[in-house]
Amino acid sequence: MKQEFRLPDLGEGLTEAEIVQWLVAEGDTVTLNQTLAEVETAKAIVELPSPHAGVITALHAAAGDVVLVGSPLVGFEIEGAEDPVPAASPAAGSAASAEDGSGPNLVGYGAAPSTGRPMRRARRSAAAVATADVDVRVAAPHDAIDETPAVPEQHERPRSTPPVRAYAKGHGVDLALVAAALGDRVITRADVDTYRERVAQRSIGAATAPPSVAVAPTTTARPVMAGERSTTRIPIRGVRKHTAEAMVQSAFTAPHVTTFHTLDVTATTELIASLRASAAPDAPRIGVLTVVAKAVCLALAHYPGLNARWDGEAGEIVQQHFVDLGIAAATERGLIVPIIRDAERMTLGGLAAAVAELTRTARSGKTAPADLTGGTFSLTNIGVFGIDAGTPILPPGQTGILALGAVRRLPWEYKGEIALRDVMTLSLSFDHRIVDGAEGAQFLKAVADVLQEPGRAMLLA
């Protein structure tokens, strides 16, 4: 029986996905739930399992194509089953496929196809591939690297992990060229960096001398001559596109107000040092972010307005008596905000473990789309970049977000004298439709009190 598999709704109403890498080819025999491809949504890189066991007869999109939900993706020949009666609609076809012995188990499988045609990026010839994806920041044509062999037409993608592919993509490096230089082995991030360094070194001489081989025309990048004014165009898609849309929606929907508080957190840093000194080797690492997360959960119980959401259609403010805590994470693919569910129920150690797992998953590009939505309050640690304060934008649907500044050793008034103390600034942005200035200030003070005197946590609990 022939069966078409359409791109399913991968969760949270996402409408499209980009094919990052096919892990199968036409003619391959696959098993149920075998990974067919890795696809990148607006929120995460997702492995796409096979809904059938059978032989692949067609791949309807190439790596790099953006495919709409509901569009044909893979054709199957399923052994031992008869061809179904042609369905009157894609929805009917999905229902029929669900009845056979190898039916799909994907979230949203069988979604009605989106209107419009899939968006496809221009395919490039092998010659163009060999010259196009140059790191424009070092401004060197690949042809200047004489030891790089020509890249033959390939049916398989270079072997690497999703984070490495994302890293290479973000730095304009074609993994096919890296693979051609390395041979048949898994490409690492270090390999990408080595390749970029080699391009940079060669570019010093290449920028002032004509290349030995003519550069193929390309719309992606071209050699930059010495002294030339140039620009680079970067496609807006994936996480960056989603983040931009969300931030614009939030900024022009919720009236933002930001209040700041600089405080002495020496007692907190001393507590962290003590806990680390006595912790087991495999215990989760407790840091300032973990303690602030605990302080926020305690304070939200007393200031529920910061944990509410605005329901304009119902004309109501919805107070949420649980804390799904968002933690902003800067990844190679852009900014994402994974959620720690029911954070208010966790101990300090539990929060530390959750933050560590969240960070590991985010950096590997494996955060599930469902784990990026539904937060009630968020934290962003700008201190790791050496920044003291800022005005964070609210994630859509949330009323509060707290930015943690850098902890600095500064002269500070302490017990009537000047002493060197650990000092940081907290920046709280909130939705002024729900929270007035007094409540915002009181909430921020409650969080600060815990950080200044961690023993106060027993009073707020």
C-alpha angle with apex 413: 411 to 416, nearest 5 degrees? 140
Amino acid at 292: V
pLDDT digits (tens, 9 = 90+) for 347-358: 999 999 999 999
More confident residue, 199 or 344: 344
385-416 pLDDT, tens digit each: 999 999 999 999 999 999 999 999 999 999 99
What pLDDT is stored for residue 148 in this prediction? 37
What's the pLDDT at 301?
95
Distance CA 405, CA 396 (A): 22
- The amino acid at 93: G
Residue 91 has pLDDT above 50, yes or no: no
pLDDT range class, residue 188, cuts 50, 70, 90? confident
Q: Which H or E element spans position 278?
A: helix 266-278
What per-residue confidence (pLDDT) applies to 184?
A: 62
Buried b (16+ CB within 10 A) or exposed e, 362-401: beebebebebbbebbbbbbbbbeeeebbbebbbbbbbbbb
Give yes or no: 432 in active site. Answer: yes
What are the beta bridge partners of residue 421? 410
Task: Identify whether the C-beta of residue 400 lies closer than 8 Å to the C-beta of residue 428.
Answer: yes
* Predicted confidence (pLDDT) per residue in 20-50, tens digit: 889 999 999 999 989 999 888 766 778 889 9
Domain assignments of the chain as residue spans, ordered by start: 2-99, 126-206, 239-460
Mention the CATH class of domain 239-460.
alpha beta
Higher-confidence residue: 154 or 375?
Answer: 375
pLDDT exceeds 60 at position 132: no
Q: How far is CA 285 from CA 75, 273, 344, in A?
A: 48, 11, 19
Name all contacts of 23-28 with Cβ < 8 Å and 24+ positions apart: 24/56, 24/59, 25/56, 25/59, 25/155, 25/156, 26/56, 26/57, 26/58, 26/59, 27/55, 27/56, 28/55, 28/56
Least confident of 142-151, 301-310, 323-332: 142-151
pLDDT at 123: 40
For the cut 50, the answer to whether the pLDDT of residue 314 exceeds it is: yes
Is the pLDDT confidence value at 318 over 90? yes
Q: What is the pLDDT of residue 357?
A: 94
Predicted confidence at residue 117, as pLDDT, reads: 44
Question: Using one digit for the tens of pLDDT, what is the confidence trace for 260-280?
Answer: 999 999 999 999 999 999 999
Among 60, 171, 256, 432, the active-site one is 432
Helix, coil or strand: residue 424 = strand
Pick from 91-105, 125-139, 281-295: least confident: 125-139
The residue ranking higher by pLDDT, 447 or 114, is: 447
Give the single-character DSSP code of 119.
B
Which pLDDT score is estimated for 10?
73
Per-residue pLDDT, averaged over 357-368, amounts to: 87
Q: Over range 75-86, report the average pLDDT.
A: 70
- How far is residue 430's CA from residue 58's CA, in Å, rounded to a whole number? 51
> pLDDT band at residue 181, thresholds of 50, 70 and 90?
low
Residue 419 in this model has a pLDDT that exceeds 70: yes
The reported pLDDT for the residue numbered 162 is: 67
Q: Is the dihedral of CA 392, 395, 401, 404 positive or negative?
A: negative
- The average confidence (pLDDT) of the chain is 78
In this predicted structure, the answer to whether residue 288 has a pLDDT above a threshold of 70 is yes
Q: For the residues 327-356, what does the mean pLDDT come to? A: 92
| CA triple 332-337-339, angle to 5 deg | 130
Across the range 90-104, mean pLDDT stands at 39
Class of domain 2-99: mainly beta
Confidence check: pLDDT of 208 > 70: no
Of 142-156, 186-200, 305-319, the range with the highest mean pLDDT is 305-319
Predicted confidence (pLDDT) at residue 173 exceeds the cutoff of 50:
yes
Structure pTM? 0.58
Asked if residue 449 has pLDDT above 80, the reply is yes
Strands 400-404 and 325-327: unpaired
Q: What 3 state SS string does 1-51 have? A: CEEEEECCCCCCCCCEEEEEEECCCCCCEECCCCEEEEEECCCCEEEEECC
